[in-house]
C-alpha cells in the first residue's frame, strides 16, 4: 500500500468527524466520507508530496459537501416549480399537495432521491441504482422505506 493510502487511513477518524459536523446526519456523513475518499483516490496524482494531506482531503470533502448541497437545492427548486406549474382545482387539494411536498422534504435525502427516481421519474430499480451508485437491493430498500415514511407522514 502506498504512503498516501496509509496516511489517508490514519486520517479517517478526523475525516469522519468533519463529515458528521457538516452533514449532522450519520448516513449522509458516511456517504460524504465515502465520496471524499473515492475522489481522493481517483485524483491522488494531483496531490503534491510534502504538502498537507489532511488539508487537501478536507478541501475535497468541503467541496463535495457544497456541491451536493447545490444539487439538492436544484432538485428541490425543480420539484417546487413542477408543483407550482400544475393547476390545483381546490384549496383542499392545494393543502394536500403542500403537505406532500413538505413530507417529501422531511425524508432522508437518499430515500427522497430513490422515490423520485423510481416513483416519479419512471426509472427502473436497476437504472436508479446505477445513477445513485448503489446496489439494486439498496435502491429497493430505499424506495420501500421512503414510501412507508411518506404514508406515515400523510396518515
| Residue that has been written with the C-alpha cell 394536500 in this structure | 96
> Is the domain of 70 the same as that of 118?
no
Query: What is the band of 119 on the pLDDT scale with cuts at 50, 70, 90?
Result: confident
**Cβ(72)–Cβ(79) under 8 Å?**
no
Nearest to 150 by CA among 121, 114, 123, 122: 114
> Is the domain of 118 the same as that of 68?
no
> Is the domain of 5 the same as that of 67?
yes
- 87 occurs within a structural domain: no
> Is the domain of 148 the same as that of 128?
yes
**Cβ(120)–Cβ(110) under 8 Å?**
no
> Is the domain of 69 the same as that of 100?
no
**Residue 155, pLDDT score:** 82
Summarised one tens digit per residue, pLDDT across range 84-114 is 655 556 777 778 888 888 888 888 988 988 8
**Residue 32, pLDDT score:** 94
pTM score, whole prediction: 0.50
Q: Which of 82, 115, 138 is the last residue of a domain?
A: 82
Identify the CATH number of the domain in which residue 2 sits: 1.10.1740.10
pLDDT at 48 over 60: yes
Task: Take residue 66 and report the three cell numbers written for it.
Answer: 457544497
DSSP string for residues in 9-20: HHHHHHHHHHHH
- 88 occurs within a structural domain: no
Amino acid at each position: 500500500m502506498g504512503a498516501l493510502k496509509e496516511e489517508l487511513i490514519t486520517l479517517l477518524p478526523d475525516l469522519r468527524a468533519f463529515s458528521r459536523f457538516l452533514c449532522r446526519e450519520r448516513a449522509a456523513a458516511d456517504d460524504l466520507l465515502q465520496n471524499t475518499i473515492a475522489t481522493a483516490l481517483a485524483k491522488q496524482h494531483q496531490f503534491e508530496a510534502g504538502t498537507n494531506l489532511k488539508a487537501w482531503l478536507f478541501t475535497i470533502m468541503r467541496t463535495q459537501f457544497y456541491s451536493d448541497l447545490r444539487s439538492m437545492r436544484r432538485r428541490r427548486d425543480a420539484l417546487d416549480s413542477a408543483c407550482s406549474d400544475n393547476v390545483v382545482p381546490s384549496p383542499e387539494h392545494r393543502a394536500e399537495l403542500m403537505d406532500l411536498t413538505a413530507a417529501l422534504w422531511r425524508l432522508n435525502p437518499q430515500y427522497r432521491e430513490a422515490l423520485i427516481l423510481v416513483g416519479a421519474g419512471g426509472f427502473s430499480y436497476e437504472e436508479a441504482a446505477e445513477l445513485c451508485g448503489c446496489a439494486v437491493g439498496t435502491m429497493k430498500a430505499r424506495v420501500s422505506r421512503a414510501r412507508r415514511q411518506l404514508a406515515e407522514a400523510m396518515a
